[in-house]
Structure 1
Amino acid sequence: MFVFPRGESVTVVLERSAVARSEAATLVIRAAAGDQGAWSQLVDHYARLVWAVTRSFRLGDSDSADVSQMVWLRLLEHINRVDPERVGAWLVVTTRRECLRVLAFRKRVLLTYEATAFEDVAGDQPELDSDLIAGERADDVRRALEKLPDRWQQLLGMLMSDPPAPYAEISATIGIPIGSIGPIRGRCLEKLRLLLAS
């Protein structure tokens, strides 16, 4: 049986919950308008929730920190589209998705101590049509890149050059702060993935 704190009624507990949601919604609206203080309060308010979700997936501290950072970046990117009244639920769903992405990536990595572990692995030889398929894929990527804004094309070109251009050079050439290069690169690649999938 659930006992309410200090003998409070169901109505009082529900009202307090509604007030907390309303305060969080106000913080989301203010943060979307550029209020840095509201953003900090929003992060402080929900940081434990995000961390608890990452820990429920039994991620290590570094993976949990990476997921948490990615979730806040996603909220920053989508803050104008998130329902302010449901920001808590949005954060939980987004955190779960990021945790699953980390776990899926981890499954792709196979650690082995044996030097001969991969000698008999099928698929070492290229298929007959691999050059044709690679050429078609390269054409698809080129067409998708052409649909990106010129600035994004230039950024990706500098990052993909051999060797990649240093961030300081990219910042000076394109005119974006060094700290924005990584997040912009992430948005570029996500847009490119969407274009290639369509």
Structure 2
Amino acid sequence: MPPEGLRRLPPGELVLRARGGDEAAWAALTERYSPMLWAIARAYGLSRVDAADVVQLTWLRLVEHIGALRRPARVGTWLAVTARREAARCLRERRGRFDDQPLEVLPDPAVFDAVLAGRERLRAVMEAIGALPDLCRQMLRLLALSPTYAEISAALDIPIGSIGPARARCLASLRKRLEEAG
């Protein structure tokens, strides 16, 4: 299990560290992306054994190509595309072994791309929120729950009149962090 500090690093930083041989960075990458790879492989209708092969081959491909990644921050997308290709290859091989069995309809790659992009954006937002000062994190959480300014004022023990400006500063800081990460 990787140290907590590594878990919070952006994907691109983890890739750069893994390129340099940092085993903890590799552990953080596998912890972060293995569930997604399993979901992709299983979405192709693969057995547990075949899905495990796809996940393992996907990680092997990253080991083989990590030095060639042009956009390390997009490692999640690279892994998803590679997993889809490995899953499709596995299905083709299975078709060759079992010609008399119908092949399942493959999931639409655009759906995977959209889900992956959404997950990457959500992860980036959550990481950026986690890096904000405590007051900003608390305020943004409360605002997401839609309480009134009076409730926010009471919860954070700040004047109602300072909520709007503080909210604007927190959102500006969040935007800046997301632009830097993206």
TM-score by structure 2 length?
A: 0.48
| Structure of greater Rg | 1
Relative contact order, CA 8 A, sep 6+: which one is greater? 2
| Structure-1-length-normalised TM-score | 0.44
- Which structure's residues are more often helix, by fraction? 2
